[in-house]
Structure 1
Amino acid sequence: MAFKTEFEFELPRGYVDEEGNLHKRGVMRLATAADEILPMRDPRVQQNPGYLTIILLTRVITKLGEVRGIDTRVVERLFTADLAYLQNLYRQINELESTAIKAECPKCEHQFQVDLSFPGEMEAV
């Protein structure tokens, strides 16, 4: 099984470009360390930490309908429902996978989940 690095999505409302065309389907890739570190140097992020979301999404959205070149202007013009959707998707695909495994009692054959994360590990992420 190949490691998945790109994820298709469909915006709840859609991006309306300058010609009035609606774009709903897109692709987001996994973030790299550089995606999260380099925007911290941007003066817009230094002045307004909330702008980090805009730049992060600009870096990881590789396709949005027929829009050529996803830049900050495109992400800034998204409807708030679409921005929230993309923020949630970003978190979902970039968080660590679950450390729980399926287990079975050898005596009664009861099946259950066992969390293998270290204590406090998930809170630090």
Structure 2
Amino acid sequence: MLTHPAATDTEGAPPDSAGLMTRYPFVLPRGYVDEQGRVHRDGVMRLATARDEITSQSDPRVRQNPAYLGVLLLARTVTQLGSAPGVDALLIENLFASDLAFLQDLYRRINQDGHTEADVTCPACGHGFAVDIAGDAPGES
């Protein structure tokens, strides 16, 4: 089970008594580099709503290029990225490919699978265990 003390719902409140988490902190593998050269790695993604999906699918950019749907969904659901003033489609477009892939996987995990854990196996001993890919602790780039 995931426990994120910093997690809050979409209104900024802590998870309800049933433990429903709607906001998931993460740490990007590389980080978004802004125009001043600052690197932003810590962020928060919220659960997607039906409105996020419907609005993004009807966007003209998605009709021209279906791959753009992922960019719009992330722009709507990533609510914070470091000290960047806001997250929009242009910021998502300027992420490194590895960070985009990380966020797309995180989006799928929390919105379809309901968690941010991945089953992994130690290459040395073969022991299997779960790892929280949202990144409670900063990882290495």
Same fold (TM over 0.5): yes
State the AA in 2 paired with 1:68: P
The CA deviation string for residues 36-83 of structure 1, in whole angstroms up to 9 with x for no partner, is 111122111000000000000000000000001101110000000000
1:51 paired with 2:48, answer no
State the AA in 1 paired with 2:79: T
1:17 paired with 2:48, answer no
Task: State the distance in 2 between where 1:37 and 1:69 align.
Answer: 22
Q: Which SS does the other structure have where 2:21 is aligned? A: coil
1:78 paired with 2:121, answer no
Aligned residues: 98
1:33 paired with 2:31, answer no
44 and 23 in structure 1: CA distance in 2 versus 1, 3 angstrom threshold? same
Q: Gapped runs of 5+ residues in structure 2?
A: 1-17, 116-141
Q: Which SS does the other structure have where 1:49 is aligned? A: coil
Q: Which SS does the other structure have where 1:31 is aligned? A: coil
- 4+ residue runs of structure 1 moved beyond 4 angstroms? none
Q: Which SS does the other structure have where 1:95 is aligned? A: helix
Counting aligned pairs with the same residue, the percent is: 54
TM normalised by structure 2 equals: 0.67
1:4 paired with 2:21, answer yes
92 and 63 in structure 1: CA distance in 2 versus 1, 3 angstrom threshold? same
State the AA in 1 paired with 2:84: V
Higher normalized helix content (fraction of residues): 1
Residues 38-117 of structure 1 aligned to structure 2 (within 5 Å): 38-97=55-114
97 and 71 in structure 1: CA distance in 2 versus 1, 3 angstrom threshold? closer
Task: State the distance in 2 between where 1:24 and 1:18 align.
Answer: 15
How far apart are 1:96 and its partner, in Å?
4.4
Q: Gapped runs of 5+ residues in structure 1?
A: 99-125
The CA deviation string for residues 6-36 of structure 1, in whole angstroms up to 9 with x for no partner, is 0000000000001100000000000000111
Which has the greater radius of gyration? 1
